Amino acid sequence: MTRLLRSGLAAATGFVLTCVILGTALATGAVPADQRYTIELPLELTAAFGITIGIVAAVYPHNHATGRGHAFLVAAVGAVVGCFYWYFSYRLLAMRIIGWQWGVLLPDVEIQTALCGAAAGISAMLVAFTRRTPATLASIAVLCLSAVALPSPLFNHLYDNQELTVAFATPIRPDETAARPPRVITSGSKEFDETRVAAHVLEALRSSGLPGEYRVTNLYRIGAGKRSLQIIVVSAPVASRALLPEPDGTEVIYVQKPDGWESIPPRAPTLRRSIEISEPEDHGDWLASFAIVGAPGIGLGDRMR
């Protein structure tokens, strides 16, 4: 095979597989819809990636060697080129978007592009420099599927990402005749049935032994992965800042007390991240301001009344 033909084959394979990997990740929901930027921005760079891997294939020395050692070396070159290309080119793209400052990427984008680049680079070099046997093609298919399926669980594991539902509740006052529907916001997570979640929260409060009746005022869901529920019961305006550790794949209730916050159960597994709750910026009927921090790039803040 001539050098020019190998270069064209590598370029076409790298371009096509990059589009396939990123497009499949978006189409199958492997990347949440509200994180489309992790797919749409790299798609702008696929043509340039094909050209880059094609140039590498053109200058790569080929001595008609065969065997596992040769295949491994070719695959290693493709992986390195793919990772380095996406690392630097995506930052250049980010620099262009944010005003030519050095681009800082979120970890989920880093993982997505690194695995995509490695899989496409390896595949392009294998197609250009090794025999396209059924075993080789099967290996390429596995690589591409892994690049689609692995980024999300890998990100969840490395950064303790989880599907965290945060519910704020207050005691029902005697003068209240009907409960207002809760305020609902999601960030980095799928929509959910707030009525069912609110009913579960109220049942959890009853099961915990807390006296009285409550209503759910605010519901939030952030992140993805294992499910956790954090219920925060606020009965009076918050007077001082507090950090309430987020549960680690379980349910925790925090109850406001005159001298601080009580945790139910007291020794539930928690993460190093915490929800910050503090005095509301505007007084009146506001009870608290708070900030919910998830995995890098996921979080939100709001107030409750």
d(CA 161, CA 227): 10
Picking from 300, 148, 284, the residue whose alpha carbon sits closest to that of residue 220 is 300
| pLDDT greater than 80 at residue 92 | no
Q: What phi, psi does 101 have (nearest 5°)?
A: -105, 155
Q: Is the pLDDT of residue 221 over 50?
A: yes
Mean pLDDT over all residues of the chain? Answer: 83
pLDDT tens readout for residues 30-63: 665 555 555 666 667 788 888 888 888 888 887 7
Percentage with pLDDT > 70 across the chain: 84
The most confident of the ranges 4-8, 64-68, 299-303 is 4-8
- The whole-number average pLDDT for the span 241-260 is 92
Mean pLDDT of 56-85: 82
- Pairing mode, strands 299-304 and 288-293: antiparallel
| Mean pLDDT score, 241-247 | 92
Does the structure show a pLDDT above 70 at 188?
no
Helix, coil or strand: residue 51: helix
- 233 band by pLDDT with thresholds 50, 70 and 90: very high
pLDDT at 121: 92
How many beta carbons lie within 10 A of that of residue 95, not counting itself? 14
End-to-end C-alpha distance for the chain, whole angstroms: 72
- d(CA 37, CA 296) in angstroms, rounded, equals 15
Per-residue pLDDT at 101: 52
The stretch 241-266 carries a mean pLDDT of 91
113 with 90: CB under 8 angstroms? Answer: yes
Average pLDDT over residues 108-117: 84
pLDDT top residue among 304 and 30: 304
pTM to 2 decimal places: 0.78
Can you give the pLDDT at residue 204?
92
Rounded CA-CA distance 156/149 in Å is: 12
pLDDT, tens only, 137-178: 899 999 999 998 898 888 888 888 899 999 999 988 766 655
| pLDDT value of residue 245 | 93
